[in-house]
Structure 1
Amino acid sequence: MLKKISISNYKSFHPTEAVEIELETSTQKPVFFYGLNGAGKSSIGEVIHGWGEKSPDFAHCAVETTGQGVYRPVVYNSDFVDRVIGGVAGMPGIFTLGELDTQSQKKIEEITPEIAAIEARREELKDLTASTASSLTAAKDTALTEVWKAHAAYSSGELQPLIQGYGNNRQKFFDALKAIQVAEDEELDTIENLKKRLAEASGTEPQKSTLSLSQPGFQAIELDAIWQERIVVSGQSRLAPLIEKWGNSDWVNKGREFAHDPECPFCQQTIPHDLLAELSQLLDGDRQTKIDHIQSLAQRYEAAISALEASVNQALQDPFAKEDAGLASAWSALKLVLQTNLVAMKAKTEKPSELASIAESSLGDLLNKLAEINQRISGFNQRISDRDAEKRRITAEFWKILRRDRAAAFSTYDAMTAPLLDQKAEYDKEDRELESKLGSLNVTLTELRQKQTGVDAAMVAINQRLCNMGIFAFSIARKSEQESLYCLNRQGQNSGELKSLSEGEKTLISFLYYMELLKGSEKEGETFQLDKTIVVIDDPISSLSVNYVFDIAALICKELIAPAGGPKVRQVIVLTHNLFFLHELMKQLGVTDKNRKCQLFRVTKNPHTQVGLIKSSELMNDYDALWFILRKARDQQLPAHIVPNTMRCILEHFFSFNNKNEEFKAALGKLEQQDNRFVALARFLDRGSHKDGINFSVMDYADYDLAYYLEKFKAVFDEAGFQQHYEAHMGVA
């Protein structure tokens, strides 16, 4: 069945914006298109015909179908009539099926249901494949959304150049990222480091020199034995026993600086003449030499600290050192040890008789941190030695990070799609096998049917239809000289030309020809299954009288839409501008709710053709429209002053159409006798809408209200015996 027709850039349809017509395919309900002449409805039939003929003129239009196999659209329109009737040689014969021998007929009866079963299974497979494809699409869309998050996270910022070139193409990015291979145990750099490396590779900074520190001899000074030695006075002085007893040699040595006058700076007594000599003998000599050594060591130690601190401070200015607090931290710890040792050394200088606790410092941690920085500097130098290669390495590692980050999305996608892909492959394989088998069966069926084709059956059927319609003035016959052509046969005239037919006769005979063509073909040996035939009928009532319009509608409904028995065409599409014909088609569907039995479209043009679904209730004739206005006025949706004239038009139309004017006048007269107030309104209603040139109101509208109008309007129908007609049109239960 046809499920969608898309038309653009054809005749009155918009040149760029396609009009899409969605047809219901859940049931085989007929499709009716209604539109005024020139609206563009005939173009719909032409597009379907062009699609069936695979005409390149309709490449910008599209027709979508359901089911398997090739459909056969057969379009009845003015072009069809011209082709059938207008040929000089005659009307092409219709090859239809005749009788076969019993064995061949039995074979056909065996093949036909087998073909139907295969096509039904292929239809199931098509639905199953579509369902599987839908699940695959849903899984892919979910995966695309999840994977695209990786792109969105870096679509701006320092790393954006590494993922450019994808725009909004999620599928392209998905495929590119899925192709990346990364081992589970592979160590990858961090995003922050990649940003830094990319900035370095994109910059112009030259290579850097590695860092170095001064090499102080802290250990030799710290391990000197002097720090654990008590520096005491000389035993050669007579003061030595007393000094040693009190243990105040350092204090005495300090006080010697003040012994310049004859009096003692402490006790204010006169200093003995040999005291200074004794002090010199007590404190100088070997003791002083050791004190000088201590002072020298402390000075060297302090100088070494300053030198090391200067080189460390210089190293800390390097950008790589600033990135990591390790070097500064190691220096702080070492500096604390060195400063503590220096304080102890200086204290030893002041008090040489006391022991000094000197810790052994270690530059190991400091040098290790420096080595790490130098390693990064070396890495930097190596990287920028070939900046393009470094950018490629950064890009590769960045994509591996993205791949690992989205690994769960890819795993979920693979887990969801693997069984679906396997299932789809099975469906496709089965469908290919069935297609091959179906092709073989169709070839066999065609060969069998070629044995029973002929053009006489269709000719007889057309003539029989003419007789059934009461047409005996002409018929069709086979041309004796060309067996596959028909010609016109009038009484007393042989081999008449079809062109001699009137327009109405052409329409009638061409449509009967069309009805028979649906069962056969104009080409010998060509066969089609009726359930693969799409019937498209465009205004088959041109120049026909009303009686024949009824006959055409009956043929369409009883033989195409709802045949009593036998095969049925796949789909029926009718296009018309004739509202009476359309109403007759819907009436013959035989149900109250026409919308359940047919699909109805309206074709309009302003300025381009548009097609839209409508309800059958929207297709009102003039008489229906009058009742519609009256109902709206009753429900106070229209002004009351339009009611009298609407009532008059309804009464005039109804009683004139039914030839009941006498009953109408009698009803008015009886109502006048019952209600004198009704006299003026009765004369107005009886006047008619076009009785004379003075078509004005003969009453004062202000004398009556809406309720009175409707009451008397109903009374007219009741009095004339048409109460049911009134109730049906006014929607009274």
Structure 2
Amino acid sequence: MLEQIDIDGVASYLGPQQSLTALRSINYVYGANGSGKTTISRIIASPAEYHTCAVRWAQNVPLECLVYNRDFVALNFTSRMRGIFTLGQQDAETLANIEKGRREVADLGEHITGKEGTLEIKTRELGELNAAFREESWKAKLKHEDQFKEAFQGVLNSKERFAERLIKEDAENQSGLKDIAELSERAATVFGPVKERVQPLRYPDRGDLIETETSPLLRKRIVGKEDVDIGPLIKKLRNSDWVKEGLKYFHDDRCPFCQQDTDHGLRDKINEYFDEQYQADVDAIATLAQRYERQASFILSGLEAMISTGSEHLDIPTLTRLHDTLKSNISLNLQHLDRKKRELSSSVELERLEGLLTEINDVIKIANDDIQKHNDLVDNLAAERASLVNDVWRHIADEYSIPLSTYKTQRNNLVAAQGGLARGIQAKTDERDQKLADLRELEKTVTSVEPTVSAINQLLASFGFRNFKLATVDGEELSYRIVRNDGTDAGDTLSEGEKTFVTFLYFYHRISGSMSESGTTSSRVVVFDDPVSSLDSDVLFIVSNLIRKIINQACNPTSAVKQVFVLTHNIYFHKEVTFDPSRSGERRSFETFWVVRKGMGHSELVGHTTNPVKTTYELLWQDVRDENRSNLTIQNTLRRIIENYFHILGNVNKDEIVQLFDGEDQQVCNSLFSWINDGSHSAHDDLYLVCDDQTASRYLRVFKEVFDRSGHSGHYDMMIRPR
């Protein structure tokens, strides 16, 4: 059955999309000519041809659609009309088996529909379970997002994807469970800003310093040649350094110390005392001191540059302290070296820097080890990130193990129930399909086009159409033609009304038949689009009654007709086809009412809870029911109701009814019947043209008693009920 029809951008539907929604078994659509009714019937007939429109079927199961509209008339009223197969009456047992097969197919259909309903419930429950778990798992994302945002890439903005990832990790993640503190520490590095490789720190080159500190020259007393005449004296006095320094002031053979003239050979003896070996030792001490100072300066400047970098890997405070100590010791050693250069005969001992330099190297080594870890991390960042992501998800899966376990158990139960229902539906569907196939084969044994010809001709004759009929084509039993009583073709000579009626009867029998030997019992949707055009009132009444039969079939769950649409612009036909004495005025669950109107250049569909199309008579009663009625017009309204009703009854003795009243009520009653006699306003009308609330109430009371006292209170009660 059709549940909804959406119409957009076709024919007169050029405005906002229009929809027929919540459709039922019986659906009435009323609208003027050109308002857009035929477009609706065409969409139902061929939805695939209207790409901007859509139809929605119950359980997504399309049914066969039989549409009567002007397209059907044009297509089928030809010199050859295709034969319609219907069940004959030749074999009562076969017909009984066909009926039994139809019931079995219908029962299976109901069984399938029931299981599909249960499956829909299970599907909805699964959807609700999934939604609840998505909300629960999303709490993990909100809880850990600040620390582990990088681990949630790809699922940050989707509750559904996050839940799916958590389920997958719970099933597949084999990482060892890590403590949250460890994960946080790793995340601070791995998930932090992108880092670059860092060059390792250089260790101080301490070789020259250590070598200088241990050099024998520093402890060697450097003096001149002792076998020179003056040598023993200088050795005895231990003043070779003083003598050597004095040579710089020895001029003109005058002693630089006592300023007396000396022997000319004294200078030569002193120079001989300070021989080449002495000078070599002097040069070696100078070179040693120079090299020590240069290397010390290089080491200190290197350490200062290292400290100034502020490297996060380096223990800056410790290195600064060691640098300051080293600088102080080097300064002291430089003083010792300077004294050695001045006092070559003295022995000096330098402060040993090896232990201090070892401490410095240890600090640098710790920094370099940390730098190596950093560089290894940079070099293996992709692997480290993947490892950390796995560990984070493993931790979350463990943290939410209880909700996960509960969810998976409930989900598995629902999925298993869905699978069982789906298999049951498929089994029953296969069984139904087989029974349908058997039913079609059974139908072929008794179906024929002849019953349709006989039925249509019988209807034509009973309604006074006796000068033409349908006949099967000679030698071609699967087609019909319209002939006169003498057998000549009559198709081209029929009036528009006759063509319409014949085609309608052809369609009417198509509803209960098939265009092939099987399929006469398949479920179908029937659409009548203005079927009474060009028909006179008598035939209109006949068509209305035939359509009401189809409507009654649609209300029977075992019928092949599952849904009916009636579209018309004829208000009288609409009244006839919607007439149902059991209708109380309240909305009924199996029918819908629609009005299609064309305003502002485009068609518009408006749904109504009850029949919106009223006859003039019904509108008069609506005025009586209205508590806000006008006192100026109520008298004439009551008169017109009585005139219409009692005129239809006929043989009503107005005087006898008037005599049932006394006094002023009799006068009011007589006024109400005045139109029946006069056919127009009489002179008495002026007496009651204007009245107050009290007078209006008296008219209404007498109006009711007219029906009560004349024995027609049932009609009054029916019409006065709220609609």
Matched residue type, 1:129: L
CA displacement at 1:438 relative to structure 2: 3.7
Matched residue type, 2:115: L
Deviation per CA, 1:234-282, whole angstroms, max 9, x where unpaired? Answer: xxxxxxxxxxxxxxxxxxxxxxxxxxxxxxxxxxxxxxxxxxxxxxxxx
Give the structure 1 partner of residue 437 of structure 2: 443
Matched residue type, 1:467: A
Give the structure 2 partner of residue 217 of structure 1: none
Looking at structure 2, the residues matched to 615 and 417 of structure 1 have their Cα atoms a distance apart, in angstroms, of 41
Residues 271-286 of structure 1: pairs in structure 2 closer than 5 A = none
Matched residue type, 1:62: V
Question: What secondary structure is seen at the aligned counterpart in 2 of 1:73?
Answer: strand
Counterpart contact for 1:90–1:487, Cα < 8 Å: yes
Q: Pick from 500, 508, 512: which aligns with 1:507?
A: 500
Question: What secondary structure is seen at the aligned counterpart in 1 of 2:21?
Answer: strand
| 1:600 has 2:592 as partner | yes
Looking at structure 1, the residues matched to 557 and 40 of structure 2 have their Cα atoms a distance apart, in angstroms, of 29
| 1:149 has 2:143 as partner | no
Residues 314-353 of structure 1: pairs in structure 2 closer than 5 A = none
Give the structure 2 partner of residue 41 of structure 1: 37
Question: What secondary structure is seen at the aligned counterpart in 2 of 1:596?
Answer: coil
Alpha carbons of structure 1 residues 153 and 470: separation in structure 2 relative to 1, 3 Å: farther
Residues 139-178 of structure 1: pairs in structure 2 closer than 5 A = 139-152=129-142, 160=149, 162-166=151-155, 168-178=157-167
CA displacement at 1:23 relative to structure 2: 2.4
Matched residue type, 1:92: R
Give the structure 1 partner of residue 692 of structure 2: 705
Question: What secondary structure is seen at the aligned counterpart in 2 of 1:33?
Answer: strand
Matched residue type, 2:112: R
Counterpart contact for 1:537–1:575, Cα < 8 Å: yes
Give the structure 2 partner of residue 552 of structure 1: 543
Question: What secondary structure is seen at the aligned counterpart in 1 of 2:525?
Answer: strand
| 1:535 has 2:522 as partner | no
Looking at structure 2, the residues matched to 393 and 563 of structure 1 have their Cα atoms a distance apart, in angstroms, of 66
Give the structure 1 partner of residue 578 of structure 2: 586
Looking at structure 1, the residues matched to 148 and 95 of structure 2 have their Cα atoms a distance apart, in angstroms, of 76
Give the structure 2 partner of residue 477 of structure 1: 471
CA displacement at 1:462 relative to structure 2: 0.9
Range that drifts further, 471-480 or 384-393: 384-393
Alpha carbons of structure 1 residues 629 and 448: separation in structure 2 relative to 1, 3 Å: closer
Question: What secondary structure is seen at the aligned counterpart in 1 of 2:487?
Answer: strand
Looking at structure 1, the residues matched to 434 and 673 of structure 2 have their Cα atoms a distance apart, in angstroms, of 78
Looking at structure 1, the residues matched to 419 and 703 of structure 2 have their Cα atoms a distance apart, in angstroms, of 74
Matched residue type, 2:80: G
Deviation per CA, 1:55-102, whole angstroms, max 9, x where unpaired? Answer: 34357412212497x6322122221222221x2x32221122335668
Alpha carbons of structure 1 residues 104 and 639: separation in structure 2 relative to 1, 3 Å: closer
Counterpart contact for 1:487–1:496, Cα < 8 Å: yes
Deviation per CA, 1:696-732, whole angstroms, max 9, x where unpaired? Answer: x95797x631220341354367569657355654459
Counterpart contact for 2:38–2:529, Cα < 8 Å: yes
Looking at structure 2, the residues matched to 186 and 567 of structure 1 have their Cα atoms a distance apart, in angstroms, of 63
Looking at structure 1, the residues matched to 31 and 611 of structure 2 have their Cα atoms a distance apart, in angstroms, of 15
Number of aligned residues: 574
| 1:62 has 2:62 as partner | no
CA displacement at 1:600 relative to structure 2: 2.2
Question: What secondary structure is seen at the aligned counterpart in 2 of 1:80?
Answer: helix
Looking at structure 1, the residues matched to 16 and 661 of structure 2 have their Cα atoms a distance apart, in angstroms, of 66
Alpha carbons of structure 1 residues 434 and 652: separation in structure 2 relative to 1, 3 Å: closer
Alpha carbons of structure 1 residues 107 and 554: separation in structure 2 relative to 1, 3 Å: closer
Looking at structure 2, the residues matched to 102 and 731 of structure 1 have their Cα atoms a distance apart, in angstroms, of 49
Question: What secondary structure is seen at the aligned counterpart in 2 of 1:543?
Answer: coil
CA displacement at 1:483 relative to structure 2: 2.8
Deviation per CA, 1:332-358, whole angstroms, max 9, x where unpaired? Answer: xxxxxxxxxxxxxxxxxxxxxxxxxxx
Residues 587-666 of structure 1: pairs in structure 2 closer than 5 A = 587-588=579-580, 590-592=582-584, 595-596=587-588, 598-605=590-597, 606-607=599-600, 608-616=602-610, 618-632=612-626, 635=627, 637-638=628-629, 640-644=631-635, 646-647=637-638, 649-650=640-641, 653=644, 663=654
CA displacement at 1:50 relative to structure 2: 1.3
Range that drifts further, 513-522 or 182-191: 182-191
Looking at structure 1, the residues matched to 533 and 498 of structure 2 have their Cα atoms a distance apart, in angstroms, of 10
Q: Pick from 189, 195, 204: which aligns with 1:197?
A: 189
Give the structure 2 partner of residue 137 of structure 1: 127
User: What is the alpha-carbon root mean square deviation over aligned residues?
Assistant: 5.0
Range that drifts further, 467-476 or 399-408: 399-408
Alpha carbons of structure 1 residues 682 and 431: separation in structure 2 relative to 1, 3 Å: closer
CA displacement at 1:433 relative to structure 2: 3.5
Matched residue type, 2:549: K
Alpha carbons of structure 1 residues 169 and 553: separation in structure 2 relative to 1, 3 Å: farther
TM-score (normalised: structure 1): 0.65
Give the structure 2 partner of residue 572 of structure 1: 563
Deviation per CA, 1:628-664, whole angstroms, max 9, x where unpaired? Answer: 23432xx2x3554454554565456556666689949
Matched residue type, 1:95: F
Residues 387-536 of structure 1: pairs in structure 2 closer than 5 A = 387-480=381-474, 482-491=476-485, 493-523=486-516, 525-530=517-522, 532-536=523-527
CA displacement at 1:573 relative to structure 2: 1.4
5+ long unaligned stretches in structure 2:
205-303, 319-361
Alpha carbons of structure 1 residues 658 and 597: separation in structure 2 relative to 1, 3 Å: farther
Alpha carbons of structure 1 residues 731 and 138: separation in structure 2 relative to 1, 3 Å: closer
Looking at structure 1, the residues matched to 607 and 203 of structure 2 have their Cα atoms a distance apart, in angstroms, of 83
CA displacement at 1:529 relative to structure 2: 1.6
Give the structure 1 partner of residue 7 of structure 2: 7
Alpha carbons of structure 1 residues 409 and 719: separation in structure 2 relative to 1, 3 Å: closer
Looking at structure 2, the residues matched to 16 and 615 of structure 1 have their Cα atoms a distance apart, in angstroms, of 22
Give the structure 2 partner of residue 91 of structure 1: 81
Give the structure 2 partner of residue 121 of structure 1: 111
Looking at structure 2, the residues matched to 183 and 565 of structure 1 have their Cα atoms a distance apart, in angstroms, of 61
Matched residue type, 2:39: S
Question: What secondary structure is seen at the aligned counterpart in 2 of 1:202?
Answer: coil
Alpha carbons of structure 1 residues 500 and 598: separation in structure 2 relative to 1, 3 Å: farther
Alpha carbons of structure 1 residues 56 and 666: separation in structure 2 relative to 1, 3 Å: closer
Counterpart contact for 1:188–1:397, Cα < 8 Å: no
Looking at structure 1, the residues matched to 409 and 606 of structure 2 have their Cα atoms a distance apart, in angstroms, of 44
Give the structure 2 partner of residue 221 of structure 1: none
CA displacement at 1:415 relative to structure 2: 0.7
Matched residue type, 1:488: I
5+ long unaligned stretches in structure 1:
213-310, 329-367
